[in-house]
Amino acid sequence: ANPQTHPDAVIVPEVTEITPEIEASAGGVGSARGTGGMATKIQAAKAATSSGIHLVIASGTEKNAITRVLQGEELGTLFVSRENRLQFRKRWLAFGAKIAGSIVVDDGCAKAIRKAGGCSILPAGVFAVQGEFLPGSTVSVIDKDAHELARGLVHYSSAELEQIKGCNSGEIANILGHKNFDEVIHRDDLVIL
């Protein structure tokens, strides 16, 4: 909680995984001096930890905060990097590529994505399509609660996905008149956030 509005708030010394609960606890915008509030800082922590980088969020009003953190003092919250560092291509996909739209996945697909190693996204797991995009575009993969789970290169356009969402891969050719891939996004082209 924000210590300025909740005097009983305590610092979380370490976060090993950024869960939807952690994101929800970030709340809204910050102070007049801050830009974007805690939610923006959590997104920066996601980017850093997914790229194999530890990150500390500490108060800028603390004297010599950076030096103290670098000397090992527990000051603020340490976000621990993931052990499996992303390859350059996946790092670009996760944080450098322009997001062209989103696909909303059902609960079963969201659960499979959250498992270690992730999975390919099949049409059956797609619940909704947001935005307009072409095959090869980078899209955000979100759950029904609008939490971003992953980003990936999509094999079908938004118009095609509207037609095949919720269908089995075996039905793609009958619906579209062609089938380039079984997957909407192959696991090799998907970065879990």
Report whether pLDDT(145) > 70: yes
Does the global pTM surpass 0.75? no
| Same structural domain, 169 and 132 | yes
15-29, 112-126, 169-183: least confident range:
15-29
Spell out the residues 6+ positions from residue 121 whose beta carbon is closer than 8 angstroms to its own.
103, 105, 109, 113, 141, 152, 183, 184, 185, 190
Could you tell me the CATH number of the domain that includes residue 166? 2.30.130.10
| Same structural domain, 43 and 126 | no
Report whether pLDDT(31) > 60: no
Is 4 inside a domain boundary?
A: no
| Same structural domain, 40 and 71 | yes
| Same structural domain, 107 and 45 | no
Is 9 inside a domain boundary?
A: no
How many angstroms separate the CA atoms of 163 and 171, rounded?
A: 11
Report whether pLDDT(47) > 60: yes
Name the domain boundary from 79, 114, 130.
Answer: 79
pLDDT (mean) for 31-57: 76
pLDDT recorded at residue 87: 64
Is 8 inside a domain boundary?
A: no
pLDDT (mean) for 106-118: 85
What burial class does residue 32 get, using C-beta atoms within 10 Å of its C-beta: 0-12 exposed, 13-18 middle, 19+ buried?
exposed
3-state percent helix, strand, coil for the chain, nearest multiple of 5: 35, 20, 50
Name the domain boundary from 79, 101, 120.
Answer: 79
pLDDT (mean) for 113-129: 88
pLDDT recorded at residue 137: 94
| Same structural domain, 117 and 34 | no
| Same structural domain, 60 and 122 | no
pLDDT recorded at residue 29: 44
Is 180 inside a domain boundary?
A: yes
Name the domain boundary from 79, 98, 129.
Answer: 79
Mean pLDDT, the chain, whole residue set: 86
Is 1 inside a domain boundary?
A: no
Report whether pLDDT(54) > 90: no
Report whether pLDDT(181) > 90: yes
Domain housing 176: 89-192
Is 50 inside a domain boundary?
A: yes
| Same structural domain, 122 and 178 | yes
| Same structural domain, 118 and 42 | no
Is 5 inside a domain boundary?
A: no
| Same structural domain, 58 and 135 | no
* Among 10-14, 48-52, 64-68, 182-186, the range of highest mean pLDDT: 182-186
Is 161 inside a domain boundary?
A: yes
**Residue 94: Cβ within 10 Å count:** 21
17-21, 27-31, 46-50: least confident range:
27-31
| Same structural domain, 183 and 150 | yes
Report whether pLDDT(117) > 80: no
Overall domain count for the chain = 2
